[in-house]
């Protein structure tokens, strides 16, 4: 009976409650048990609290001069290496934030360069562009478009 209540309390908290919070739930419902018993029951059922998100990463760079939108939503291309678009994102992992940058060729719609890092720096974005140039050769008359984020 207690094992079922432990699981119910944990699941209804969207799997965020640890043993101490589940234990307080049980005590509030009038079920008498110890913290160590709740810990043992959670361990036996494979219940673990998900890590709390610590907030979104902060923009630490200063803004540069904003260039005009040359691409202007013209996504159709006649040949490869004519227009590349770039962006980056971040993903929460068990070890912290992982930043991923990608460069996409609009002709083939393929990722031609990418980079990953544990720090949001201009260098990791530049690494993705360098990889794209290395993989596709030195293109002539290339339009490289990005949203001009903090990097």
Of the pLDDT bands very low, low, confident and very high (cuts 50, 70, 90), residue 151 is: low
pLDDT value at 150 more than 90: no
pLDDT in tens, 2-57: 999 999 999 998 888 999 999 999 999 999 999 999 999 999 999 998 876 666 66
* The pLDDT value given to residue 62: 57
**Do residues 101 and 118 touch, judged by C-beta distance below 8 A?**
no
pLDDT value at 120 more than 80: yes
Distance between CA 59 and CA 151 in Å, rounded? 9
The CA angle 73-89-60, to the nearest 5 degrees, is 105
Q: Which two tokens stand for residue 36?
A: 């160590």
**Residue ranges of domains in the chain:** 2-45, 83-146
How many CB atoms lie under 10 A from the CB of residue 142?
A: 14
Pick the CATH number of 83-146 from 1.10.3470, 3.30.2310, 1.20.120, 3.30.160: 3.30.160
Q: Which residues have C-beta within 8 Å of that of residue 115, sequence separation ≥ 6? A: 100, 101, 124, 125, 127, 128, 131
* The pLDDT value given to residue 13: 87
pLDDT in tens, 52-74: 666 666 655 555 566 777 777 76
């Amino acid at each position: 009976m207690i094992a079922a209540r432990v699981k119910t309390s944990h699941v209804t908290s969207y799997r965020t409650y640890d043993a101490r919070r589940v234990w307080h739930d049980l005590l509030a419902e009038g079920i008498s048990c110890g913290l160590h018993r709740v810990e043992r029951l959670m361990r036996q059922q494979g219940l673990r609290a998900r890590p709390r998100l610590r907030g979104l990463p902060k923009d630490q760079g200063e803004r540069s001069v904003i260039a005009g939108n040359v691409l202007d939503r013209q996504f159709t291309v006649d040949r490869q290496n004519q227009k590349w678009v770039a962006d980056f994102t971040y993903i929460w992992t068990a070890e912290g934030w992982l930043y991923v940058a990608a460069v996409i060729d609009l002709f083939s719609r393929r990722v031609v360069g990418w980079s990953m890092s544990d720090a949001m720096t201009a260098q990791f974005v530049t690494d993705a562009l360098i990889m794209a140039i290395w993989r596709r050769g030195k293109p002539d008359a290339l339009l490289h478009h990005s949203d001009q984020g903090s990097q």
